[in-house]
Structure 1
Amino acid sequence: MKPRARELGIRFDGEPGRHNALTDVPGVRIGYTTLSDGEVRTGVTAILPRGREDIEQPCAAGWFSLNGNGEMTGTAWVEETGALTLPVLITNTHAVGTCHRAVVDWVAAHRPELARRWLLPVVAETFDGYLNDINSAAVRAEHAHHAIDTAAGGPVAEGSVGGGTGMTCYAFKGGSGTASRRVRYGDDTFTVGAFVQANFGSRRELSIAGVPLGRHLADDNPQEAGHMPPGAGSVIAVVGTDAPLLPGQCKALARRVPFGLARTGTTGSHFSGDLFLAFSTANPGALTSAWPSESARTQAYESLRFVPWPNLDPFHAAVAEAVEEAVVNVLVAGETMVGRAGHRSPAMPVDRVLALLRDPAPAAM
């Protein structure tokens, strides 16, 4: 496995968790299916907030759209109830329907009692049509099922894997990336993790560790040579934490994702769908939405333990820090890819970047 950004000496704020990944949040599992054959460069990513065994247990959740030129299904129900259940899938733009149906079929096969009522899974996308034959039917239900079935904790592969396989970022090879932060709160220590499917940003905007690098890396930029508008693509971010939060506080975390993206240089593009989901795995058993019994209509109550609003700033900072590092991890992991119609996405020249970071004066000129 290639060294990650932090291992190369790139400096970031905050203290990472054990694996510096969203999977540092206890119970979170991530799985991939990667498809690369002929003109296909795509795949599926599955994020399971509570693993496969407790998919029906709601998490407090919120979402935020920085720019709506994209899709994240199920968010109307997240907004209504403040709750997230089922595996979250990320894929390419034209495979959302396939993956949505695949989640329903997976639940019906593995948890038929849950499928007797409605299922509204969250499926999100970014556009990989520069490298991938996006109009093909390459992504099939079994690929989504494989991502769910193989989702695991621990270290997470990054770069051209899963739904990120055919993505580009700052006109370099993009894809999937993750990072985490530990947040101390009184006697407790919580984890905030972020996962990004990074497919955004124009080359000239790129900044790493506070150093503007884009115009010093302007060569070898075939994507923006008439193929796509600068900055086009999209970014999906999923933030998770074991800190006890209200749904509205999860939404507040989702709103902090753009601060982490901005640290890497982007100002946002009209042609980039930037959609973010945040959830808390605390308070298991609350926020249920099962069919009510007669006794439950008058007797049932639920309670949420949560961090008071005035004490959330360290968690907000953790989101920005983890998102920034996750994006840079994507770029560091990237390897040059040639895809549909001979389109090429170059790897970020890591050695040149490290040299510019060691001597930032030329980059600041």
Structure 2
Amino acid sequence: MTNSAWTSTPSGRMRARGLGLAFEGRPGPANAITDVPGVSVGYSTIISGDGPLVVGRGPVRTGVTAILPRPRQAIGEPVFAGFFSLNGNGELSGTHYIEEAGKFSLPVTITNTHSCGLARDATIRWAVRHFGARYSDTFSLPVAAETYDGFLNDINGFHVQDRHVFEAIDGAAGGSIEEGSVGGGTGMKCFGFKAGSGTASRLVEYGEETFTVGVFVQANFGTRRHLTVLGRNIGALPGLPEMQSGAPDRELSSIIAVVATDAPLLPHQLKRLARRVTFGVGRTGGLANHGSGDLFLAFSTANTGLGGAAAPRILTARYVPDEDMDPLFEAVAQATEEAILNSMIANETMTGRDRNVVPALPHGVTAG
């Protein structure tokens, strides 16, 4: 079974399944993190200028991605969450509180390294505007994450502003979403090819119930010679287009992954789920290099009423037994692998600052 949402993005960009790649597992309707009910994704993409870098003017190749864990009218209702750092040369804010309390409540934002703090703060400003007086005394530690786009982008020009964060959050929608050089993934590269934003999902059956696992990645990692597609190393093939560089920072790399599910899970189980992103990254050839920020977040939308002054003193949570989590672990690895490849395949060559060029992954080399 297949459908058009599995093979192309809303704008018609090719996805990995459109090339006939036979991934394991059964995707949801959109093969996206948005297959998890209530989860939505929005982008703000900033592209302007060409030629030599002039700090503060450009060229600009960056943006913001927002992932809303609950429907907009329910934002502020916590979700159980867990976090895992495979390699910590990066930033994902709010993780100390997630480690302590196992939950968060506001939109997740992903952007470039030097705009991560702004995205965090702007999310609070959005919440103050969105909730009004109801938010006047609320304590917030939003989740904001980053990867480095300085090879293509005027990263020290600080072109991401509050309005871009608001645009990404307010524009978040469900269903099929764009991939590639959009949102926070605009200026990113992976294994020496153009990459950025990618997503995939899997359906997992538990008796009479079917749960969804969705993964979203901002992929900006990997060494060319390690690139692997469905077990076949293609990064070392001769004749592949190379990056063209007039500036440094070719090797700085990271990957942010956000896992969403409607399976009822507790915080320690979501931390276990976040760890399994590692295997999806490894399937594509990622090795968590020293300079890589490989940071993974997982959350579940299943349990509600998890906190606040109005919550009862004793709460009851539903959850999958630890001993029955293997199908969810497998789904995370499968969806992560496909999301990374989608971020590369749904893309095209980009020229950025100082006429640095990151080539698109040639579709023909992915075939076995």
TM-score, structure 2 as length reference: 0.92
Contact preservation (8 Å) 1:238, 1:276: yes
Compute the displacement of 1:217 (Å).
Answer: 5.1
Secondary structure class of the residue paired with 2:21? coil
Secondary structure class of the residue paired with 1:214? coil
Unmatched tracts of structure 1, length 5 or more: 358-365
Query: Does the alignment pair 1:319 with 2:332?
Result: yes
Query: Which residue of 239, 250, 253 corresponds with 2:259?
Result: 239
Q: Deviations over 1:121-159 (max 9, x none)?
A: 000000000000000121000000000000000001000
Compute the displacement of 1:220 (Å).
Answer: 2.6
| CA distance in 2 between partners of 1:60 and 1:139 (Å) | 29
Residue 272 (structure 1) aligns with: 292
Residue 361 (structure 1) aligns with: none
| CA distance in 1 between partners of 2:350 and 2:122 (Å) | 28
Q: 1:302 to 1:241 in 2, by over 3 A?
A: same
Query: Which residue of 242, 251, 268 corresponds with 2:271?
Result: 251
Unmatched tracts of structure 2, length 5 or more: 1-11, 50-58
Compute the displacement of 1:3 (Å).
Answer: 2.2
Q: How does 1:46-61 map to 2 (within 5 A)?
A: 46-61=66-81
Amino acid at match of 2:220: N
Amino acid at match of 1:66: L
Which aligned runs of 4 or more in structure 1 are off by greater than 4 angstroms? 223-226
TM-score, structure 1 as length reference: 0.92
Query: Does the alignment pair 1:203 with 2:238?
Result: no
Contact preservation (8 Å) 2:234, 2:365: no
| CA distance in 2 between partners of 1:277 and 1:103 (Å) | 18
Residue 54 (structure 2) aligns with: none
Q: How does 1:72-91 map to 2 (within 5 A)?
A: 72-91=92-111
Contact preservation (8 Å) 1:204, 1:218: no
Q: Deviations over 1:234-261 (max 9, x none)?
A: 0000000000000000000000001000
Query: Does the alignment pair 1:303 with 2:303?
Result: no
Q: Which moved more, 1:135-144 or 1:299-308?
A: 299-308
Q: Aligned pairs, how many? A: 347
| CA distance in 2 between partners of 1:110 and 1:218 (Å) | 52
| CA distance in 2 between partners of 1:6 and 1:123 (Å) | 30
Secondary structure class of the residue paired with 1:111? helix
Q: 1:218 to 1:260 in 2, by over 3 A?
A: farther
Residue 8 (structure 2) aligns with: none
Query: Does the alignment pair 1:25 with 2:25?
Result: no
| CA distance in 2 between partners of 1:57 and 1:175 (Å) | 29
* Identity across the alignment (%): 54
Q: 1:74 to 1:223 in 2, by over 3 A?
A: farther
Compute the displacement of 1:352 (Å).
Answer: 2.8
Query: Which residue of 196, 202, 213 corresponds with 2:234?
Result: 213
Amino acid at match of 1:279: F
Q: 1:223 to 1:215 in 2, by over 3 A?
A: same
Q: 1:95 to 1:226 in 2, by over 3 A?
A: closer
Contact preservation (8 Å) 1:203, 1:218: no
Residue 353 (structure 2) aligns with: 340
